[in-house]
Amino acid sequence: MLSILGNANEDGTIDMKDVEYTESIILGSGNPTRFADATGDNSIDMLDVTKTELISLGKAKELTLVDGVGRQVNVALPVKNIIPTDYRTTETLLALGTGDMIVGVDRAFHERMDEFGLLDLPEVAVHGKSVDYEMVLTLKPDIVLLPLSQAENAEDIAKNLPNTAVVSMGLSSQKTIDSDLTTMGFVLGKEKEANELISWMQRYEDLVSEQTRDLKSDDMPTFYYEYMSGGDENWWVITPEDPSAGKVAEGAGGHNIAAGLAGTSVEVDPEWIIVKNPDFMFADLMKGFDSGPGKTEEDMENLLAKVLSGRPGFERVNAVKNNNVYLVDRDVIGGPRWVIGRIYFAKCMHPELFEDINPEEIHKEYLKKFHNLEVSGTWVYPLPE
């Protein structure tokens, strides 16, 4: 969905068809839609026809988008400078070819994703929090992007950043990335790049669906997806309701033992996991516990031993007994790489269905195609056979 006022017919762009549809609403033959009110004045009239036409011709001086939490935000055009305050959002924007538009990043981007460059840019936030207002105002961005996790602070942040569009978007979440890419691609003048990235993700999403479509419920193993493994919080489970990691694991041909639990990540008793006896375990490496770029399989083997240590009774769990415990770096779960994570999940649980599909090569394809990068490292361990 293109979440921009003026998208009257609610397709993937704003063109003369939207102008015609807005006219039909005014004449009474068309049904009013959420985005037909291009001027945002709660009335659909000829002013909206004019505004929609200007947007479609690339002559509008501003437009109004509806962000991920329903806020209407006016954006001055053309957009020249942007600041993403979340590192996974930054990766997604870079995949659209916006490197020359980004003028500031969050600290986590430099700490977690230095392979993507932008090392000389100032740090203006910490994961969407602690925004350095003085620095942001000095950089004069047209848009400041917040992750959905900081949406509740959007209005307060906006008050401190006059003349700046503060937008909350889920560009790192599997659940929302397609629609948000469509919207931001249009706003940033990167429609072609956004459509190409969405098509690339769709191709591999369809591949997993095709390979697993004939699986019956009894053919699907159970799995335990642990939240933030390797730290002190050893007993948190990711549920299917999680909009990022949880949604990625769904559709990979398995049953999440946390299905039905309320919340996105839930603290559980270790005995509960032992009783559930999952066939597979996926350990979430969110904070960079020595995985990813530059890490060897030996590094990950040592990390796996650490993750499994201090778990009395786990030796009785099928996943452990059958060596079906996998470390999964969150970088191949969030942003455009979510589909790579799904392929890993699917191949781990159904190697016979994905015998000729190599998720490592697909990861390399993504990095080269959308970032012109060749990066060695280990993001999943052990690699599925």
User: Using CA atoms, how far apart are residues 140 and 156, in angstroms rounded to an integer?
Assistant: 18
Of 332, 328, 237, 340, residue with least CA distance to 282: 328
Q: 117 phi and psi, to 5 degrees?
A: 85, -150
> In which domain, by residue range, is 362 found?
198-381
Reported as a single tens digit per residue, the pLDDT across 190-229 is 999 999 999 999 999 999 999 999 999 999 999 999 887 7
Read off the pLDDT of each residue in 78-103 and give the average, rounded to a whole number.
95
Maximum CA extent, the chain:
71
On whether both 143 and 29 belong to a single domain, the answer is: no
Reported as a single tens digit per residue, the pLDDT across 302-355 is 989 888 888 888 889 999 999 999 999 989 999 999 999 999 999 999 999 999
- List all residues 6 or more positions away from 342 whose beta carbon is below 8 Å from its beta carbon: 204, 205, 208, 248, 249, 251, 252
- Other Cβ atoms closer than 10 A to 115: 17
On whether both 227 and 360 belong to a single domain, the answer is: yes
User: Using CA atoms, how far apart are residues 354 and 363, in angstroms rounded to an integer?
Assistant: 15
Q: Which of 167, 189, 211 is the last residue of a domain?
A: 189
Number of domains in the chain: 3
Of 119, 167, 164, 155, residue with least CA distance to 137: 164
On whether both 354 and 234 belong to a single domain, the answer is: yes
pTM more than 0.75:
yes
On whether both 372 and 254 belong to a single domain, the answer is: yes
Eight-class DSSP state of 315: G
On whether both 161 and 203 belong to a single domain, the answer is: no
CATH of the domain at 372: 3.40.50.1980
pLDDT band at 285 (very low <50, low <70, confident <90, very high): confident
| 3-state SS, one letter per residue, for 330-356 | HHHCCHHHHHHHHHHHHHHHCCCCCCC
Q: Does 99 score more than 70 pLDDT? A: yes
Eight-class DSSP state of 32: -
Q: Which of 22, 44, 60 is the last residue of a domain?
A: 60
User: Using CA atoms, how far apart are residues 228 and 231, in angstroms rounded to an integer?
Assistant: 7
pLDDT at 243: 85
